[in-house]
Homo-oligomer: A and B are copies of this chain.
Amino acid sequence: MFYIEGVRHVGEAILNDFPLEYIIYSPELLTADYGQEILAIASTKKIDLIQVTSDIFNSFSMKEGPHGIAAVGHEKYFTLNDVEIKGLWIALENIQDPGNMGSIMRSLDGAGGKGVILIGDSTDPYHPTAVRSSTGAIFYLPIIKSTITEFIRYKNRTSIFCAGSSCHSNTSFKEVDYPNSMVLVMGSEQKGITEIIERECDVLVNIPMAGKVDSLNLANAASIVLFEIYTRRIKT
């Protein structure tokens, strides 16, 4: 289970029928009209509502100036057998930073993407920082958990097109034709994707760079490639 705080995020969870264990709120703090609406919707969905004083709410709140509403949700994961990979997906291998995880989901949704595959040992997508930086995308984009072996087996079975982002590539992300259904595969900033996953990719791409920095922030790099793919799709 995981913790969700604030009218916006609890609202997104409710509106997307995300499985919640209960909502906890403080009437003194929850003054926004939207907060009242959320409570009304939650009660029609038979989610437990726990009322507390502002002192109690402040004692566990992770925000400065809390909105007075939080929830506890059930982490939701799929496997590669549950979901059909159609459209644009992203696979993240062994990524470490929950802020990047969340903002990649936000960008993926903005780029018309359909879901996320976590390969190997990645950071918790339900970490409060990831939830916050996803600005709600975590509540409606499916998250698949996969081992390296499961991913390779899936790739061999379905032949889904995989474009891996790799500093070993000499091909710019601009030079590649991306099919409609595909997985963009990215690894951690330090290590990139593993060799074994690189070998499974149909193409490896890099982002050409100037300057002295030797890499980009992972979420920035993912967003650059995702929006290259998306803006080409809407053009044609």
Task: Report A's interface with B, CB cutoff 8 A.
Answer: 99, 103, 106-113, 133, 135-137, 140, 172, 174, 207-217, 219-221, 223-224, 227, 230-231, 234-235
B220 near A207 with CB under 8 A, answer no
Q: Is the Cβ of A109 less than 8 Å from the Cβ of B213? A: yes
CB distance from A188 to the nearest CB of B (A): 14
Which chain B residues border A235 with CB–CB below 8 Å?
174
**Contact assessment for A231 and B103 in the assembled complex, using a CB-CB cutoff below 8 Å:** no
Given A140-B212, A211-B112, A107:B220 Cβ within 8 A: yes
A111 to B230, CA, bound (A): 20
CA distance A106 to B214 in the complex (A): 9
Q: For the complex, what is the distance from the CA of A140 to the CA of B221, rounded to whole Å?
A: 21
Copies in the complex: 2
On whether the beta carbons of B174 and A231 are closer than 8 Å, the reply is yes
Q: A207 — which chain B residues lie within 8 A by C-beta?
A: 110, 227
Q: Decide if A136 touches B219 in the complex (CB within 8 Å).
A: no
> Which of A135, A174, A216, A235 counts the most B-chain CB atoms under 10 A from its CB?
A216
Instruction: For the complex of A and B, list the 7 residue pairs with the smallest distance between their C-beta atoms, beginning with the closest.
Output: A112-B210, A109-B211, A220-B223, A103-B217, A110-B209, A224-B227, A109-B213
Besides A109-B211, A219-B219, A224-B224, 4 new A-B residue pairs in contact (Cβ under 8 A), listed by A number:
A106-B213, A111-B211, A137-B212, A172-B231
B-chain residues with CB within 8 Å of residue A113 when the two chains form the complex: 211
CB distance from A111 to the nearest CB of B (A): 7
Chain B residues whose C-beta falls within 8 Å of the C-beta of A220 in the assembled complex: 103, 106-107, 219-220, 223
Sampled A-B contacts (14; CB under 8 Å) = A106-B217, A106-B220, A109-B211, A110-B211, A111-B209, A112-B211, A113-B211, A133-B217, A172-B231, A174-B231, A174-B235, A207-B227, A219-B219, A219-B220
